[in-house]
Structure 1
Amino acid sequence: MQQGRIHSIESMGLVDGPGIRTVLFLQGCHLRCRYCHNPDTWQLSGGKEIDVGQIMKMLKRYRPYYGNTGGVTCSGGEPLLQADFVTELFKACKAENISTCLDTAGYGNGSYDILLDYTDLVIFDIKHVISEKYHKLTGGDFSIAKTFLETVIAKNIPLWIRHVVVPDLTDGEAHIRQLGEMIQTIPNVEKVELLPYHTMGVGKYHALGIPYSLEGVPPMEQKKIQYLQNLLTEMIA
């Protein structure tokens, strides 16, 4: 039975997919997003080892709360780094009629085709739409995330898109319009959310002795987020 490394578990999450969901935050991430608020999830060697059987026992206990729309969400970190584990878990969930959701930046290091066959919903975090700026923001290669997105489109899996808006980095109108133009080309998008940058994770950097590159950048203003969200919604309506 597959074992996974889990950073933490939220038993009844309300924002990581439809309905009430159990959210598994998996350990490990290859990206180094400048605004990441969970640097303690970066190392794959961290967290606690748990096997699929243990998780299924927990999910069955919570199943009465899921109703017709809730279920399990695998988030991170980056769940694609533990694709074999998540695949076995999602297979077991489908056998028990528990809805599955993958919350990801699309940045794995192996095959995820079979995993997506057992995934009911993908929440895809688009970091940036321009390759060079994607790299500056995350340290990663945009083509890896783009290939994942293309696979989700080809399999026609329901898709929610999220994008973090950071002052002076991703809060420009021109940038949001570029994002909207990209989303217009994706046929299976059901929902698009702009998430405001916040500073709640800064203390973790200090505690871990990791330099924080956005030191002094204020949280995103809610008024501007709403303006940009309205702009984006009008574009893709």
Structure 2
Amino acid sequence: MVIKVHSYESMGTFDGPGLRLVVFLQGCNFCCLYCANPDTISVGGGIVTEPEEIVRMALSQKPFFGKKGGITFSGGEPTLQAKALIPIFRKLKEEGIHTCLDSNGSIWNEDVEELFGLTDLVLLDVKQFNAIRHRSLTGHSNEQTLCLTSWLEKQRKPFWLRYVLVPGYSDFEEDIISLGEALGGNQMIQRVEILPYHTLGVHKYEAMKQEYLLQEVKENTLDQIEHAANLFKRYFPTVYVN
């Protein structure tokens, strides 16, 4: 079974611990208004890749990973290709390569459950805690994402909680507080990463002849970021701004 890959990043430092090979997979079930990689959304694109090729790439870069690094599968949404990823994760585990899965957590079936079980560290993207605002921001429910946090806790599976801070969409104080109250006691959350909103992907919309719907939204001020970080720190011991 082949994998549909959008692109690769060698020696990545923002998607998991240490130096990492980051594999961006094609296809996503969310349509986030601020998506910086709209070209990854369509399931019809991407480069058809044999699983063995990805394993070979990881093995060739393994000397650079050190004790903390490894490989991260991002997207798009990797769990759309869970069945094809399972044998890759098994092989990577056999080779002693640390695996991360960057996911919105919205898809659940037997293959996805097995894939999460094989993953060393989950990077869970929680877009918004408020259900109504989450749907307006992503076009999708956040119910399964929040259910996944409970599953990860029960399975003793470590994860990082990632939160994109979009002014006027996900920076509401009451929503961050509600998120903290709901998940602050979760022992498997190793850290919270605040990802400030940026407009670096706007040119992709222009190239694809698509309208970028958040043209009027400005990037976060330092005060906005600091305020959000302080709110998260009330509930989580380790908070980073990525």
Question: For this structure pair, what is the TM-score category when the shorter chain's length is used for normalisation?
Answer: over 0.9
Q: Quick one: distance in 2 between partners of 1:106 and 1:58?
A: 26
Over 3 Å counting, the alpha-carbon distance change for 1:212 and 1:117 in structure 2 is same
Q: Is the 8 A contact 2:173 2:228 kept in 1?
A: yes
**What SS class does the counterpart of residue 17 from structure 2 fall into?**
coil
Task: Name the structure 2 match of 1:206.
Answer: 206
Q: Quick one: distance in 2 between partners of 1:210 and 1:151?
A: 37
Task: Name the structure 2 match of 1:59.
Answer: 58
**What SS class does the counterpart of residue 235 from structure 2 fall into?**
helix
**What SS class does the counterpart of residue 90 from structure 1 fall into?**
helix
Q: Quick one: distance in 2 between partners of 1:210 and 1:109?
A: 30
Q: TM-score w.r.t. structure 1 length?
A: 0.95
- Provide Cα deviations, 1:23-73, integer angstroms capped at 9, x if missing partner: 000000011111111110011121101111111111111000111111000
Q: Is the 8 A contact 1:26 1:74 kept in 2?
A: yes
Report which stretch shifted further, 31-40 or 184-193. 184-193
Q: Is the 8 A contact 2:106 2:143 kept in 1?
A: no
Task: Name the structure 2 match of 1:74.
Answer: 73
Segments of structure 1 that go 5 or more residues without pairing to the other structure are none
**Are 2:152 and 1:149 equivalent residues in the alignment?**
no
Task: Give the fraction of aligned pairs with identical amino acids, expressed as a percent.
Answer: 38
Q: Counterpart of 1:95 in structure 2: which amino acid?
A: E
Q: Counterpart of 1:44 in structure 2: which amino acid?
A: V
Over 3 Å counting, the alpha-carbon distance change for 1:140 and 1:221 in structure 2 is same
- Give the count of matched residue pairs: 236
The root-mean-square deviation of aligned C-alpha atoms, in Å, is: 1.4
**Are 2:35 and 1:22 equivalent residues in the alignment?**
no
Task: Name the structure 2 match of 1:106.
Answer: 105
Report which stretch shifted further, 108-117 or 132-141. 108-117
Q: Quick one: distance in 2 between partners of 1:25 and 1:107?
A: 18
Q: Quick one: distance in 2 between partners of 1:28 and 1:150?
A: 26
Q: Quick one: distance in 2 between partners of 1:233 and 1:176?
A: 11
Q: Is the 8 A contact 1:78 1:107 kept in 2?
A: no
Q: Is the 8 A contact 2:133 2:169 kept in 1?
A: no
What is the CA distance between 1:207 and its match in structure 2?
Answer: 1.5
Q: Counterpart of 2:159 in structure 1: which amino acid?
A: L
Q: Counterpart of 1:213 in structure 2: which amino acid?
A: L
**Are 2:121 and 1:121 equivalent residues in the alignment?**
yes
Q: Counterpart of 1:76 in structure 2: which amino acid?
A: G
What is the CA distance between 1:109 and its match in structure 2?
Answer: 5.9
What is the CA distance between 1:128 and its match in structure 2?
Answer: 1.0
**Are 2:227 and 1:227 equivalent residues in the alignment?**
yes
Which runs of structure 2 are paired with 1:155-166 in the superposition (5 Å)? Answer: 155-166=155-166
**What SS class does the counterpart of residue 219 from structure 1 fall into?**
coil
What is the CA distance between 1:107 and its match in structure 2?
Answer: 2.4
Q: Is the 8 A contact 2:28 2:42 kept in 1?
A: yes
What is the CA distance between 1:103 and its match in structure 2?
Answer: 0.6
Q: Counterpart of 1:70 in structure 2: which amino acid?
A: G
**What SS class does the counterpart of residue 235 from structure 1 fall into?**
coil
Q: Is the 8 A contact 1:126 1:162 kept in 2?
A: yes
Report which stretch shifted further, 54-63 or 100-109. 100-109
Q: Quick one: distance in 2 between partners of 1:75 and 1:102?
A: 6
What is the CA distance between 1:224 and its match in structure 2?
Answer: 1.8
Which runs of structure 2 are paired with 1:152-191 in the superposition (5 Å)? Answer: 152-191=152-191
What is the CA distance between 1:98 and its match in structure 2?
Answer: 0.3
Q: Quick one: distance in 1 between partners of 2:172 and 2:106?
A: 25
Over 3 Å counting, the alpha-carbon distance change for 1:149 and 1:235 in structure 2 is closer
Q: Quick one: distance in 2 between partners of 1:79 and 1:181?
A: 28
